[in-house]
């Protein structure tokens, strides 16, 4: 797995911007990534919004895996 050097949420573009090294930068469009997640409750989107803003590195890791964000939302739903 590739190591994330730096990650931040950009509220102007609603993207998580990630640097993998000096030359490799990746952007995760949160609207597009979140659209693939099935929500049990409409308010469950708050889990993903908070994750992107407070833990952008983890958001990027989960968004890059098949079912990663879905699993996160389901796990958070179990706690609440």
Our CA angle for 8, 53, 34, nearest 5°, is 100
The whole-model pTM stands at 0.92
Per residue in 10-42, pLDDT (tens digit) is: 999 999 999 999 999 999 999 999 999 999 999
Please tell me whether residue 14 adopts helix, strand or coil conformation: coil
Residue bearing tokens 């989960």 = 62
Question: Does residue 79 have a pLDDT over 90?
Answer: no
- Residue 65, domain member (yes or no): yes
Buried b (16+ CB within 10 A) or exposed e, 33-71: bbeebebeeeebeebbeebbeeebebbbbbbbeeebbee
- Would 62 be classed as within a structural domain? yes
Give the pLDDT confidence score for residue 80 in this predicted structure: 72
Residues in the chain, overall count? 80
Range of the domain at 32: 6-79
Residue 61 lies in a domain: yes
The pLDDT tens digits for 38-68 are: 999 999 999 999 999 999 999 999 999 999 9
Query: Above 60 in pLDDT, residue 1?
Result: no
Question: Does 1 map to a domain?
Answer: no
């Amino acid at each position: 797995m590739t190591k994330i050097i730096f990650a931040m949420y950009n509220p102007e573009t609603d993207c998580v911007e990630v640097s993998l090294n000096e030359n490799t930068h990746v952007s995760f469009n949160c609207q597009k990534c979140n659209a693939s997640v099935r929500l049990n409750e409409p308010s469950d989107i708050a889990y993903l919004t908070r994750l992107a803003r407070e833990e952008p590195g983890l958001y990027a890791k989960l968004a890059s895996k098949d079912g990663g964000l879905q699993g996160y939302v389901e796990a958070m739903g179990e706690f609440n």
